[in-house]
Structure 1
């Protein structure tokens, strides 16, 4: 098992490394000092597991989890604050370690990770995935927590994209394109999975597109039940008849407030 420790406090990283080195099946350990550093290390290190702090400067652990490229490593949140436990499990975390933890509690979390990895390997053996396509992830049984920004690794750095600046999203092979006024960065993610992570401000409007509801200025009706969404920027986004009724219903609902960021420690 390959493990990436993500924590802005060096003593916390040192403790976790010491305990992990006692586990015989952990083949590699790396450390990241914050969320941006973690995302930059992902492609080269390819961890099976992220041990992820929640409260970190600038970028929270929840935002890191939402920015993970697909297929994403498993996540165990490690934090001194218990108030984020529900949000962490909504973000598909395997476990939630509350500081201070001991070797026994860490071992229980690692056992859950081992079981999930074994399930994934078994599923791939029975139903192997196509090597070049990212499958649409099924919608979760309850909404994921909304986030305020995404982190996108780029050559030589990491781009931070504020969610409020994303006008619409479209699929592009194994990626999604985030359309903003400042550019169209690519993110390795499924459209369905990203819309779930971004929260209720976004609505699927086409098999290959989703839109931020606050950006819609008008709806144009076309033939055969299809339509176009005209955004405040003047951009036109396709709206298929499959999604048009839901888009119209969402536009008539009360506005969605932007999420509040958890306080930094």
Structure 2
């Protein structure tokens, strides 16, 4: 499968380095264009219709997010390229979109490209990009949704509706309000990262809970949650968990 890529970064040197690394480590990509100007890139992307875009977030003319909002029906896979930006990375994680941190590490680049190629084949990029745009317009994370890939496709889940996540044999089972559950092919570690900086807390290596759904902490080392959910708290996490919960 021939995957067409387009690169956007306002720094000429950064573009040259990224192109060189892609040509060296990711031969399955064909670079069809690049630009230092987000405005020019918008026009060229609509003309060239690439499968994957490597997009810098912090640019003086227009941010990568603003550029994305300016493209009608952005049905391409995105790999954001960014210096560390907590807000940006949090937003990207929520929508299961790829990113690499500058300077791009070889292994991180290969992993991001491999994942992007898989996503191109699934043809679900437009839905993820639209959800990212929607989330960027919401300041309160409790009103945001996360994108969860499942065997059926993509599920868009409001964060407050998630009661807990449980790691099961490399997969993750999500327990939602109204007794609903779903199984994601992503590991529990993926959800720990995705839901970082929110009201979620990892009480056990296999359990991530939403603190807003806690009913009681039981002396034997369990947490009682809504919808009859009960999970253990690791002995080495109990003190930190109780302090964290009190602070909420």
* TM-score normalised by structure 2 residue count: 0.48
Which has more helix, going by share of residues? Answer: 2
- Which structure is higher in RCO with an 8 Å CA cutoff and minimum separation 6? 1
Which has more strand, going by share of residues? Answer: 2
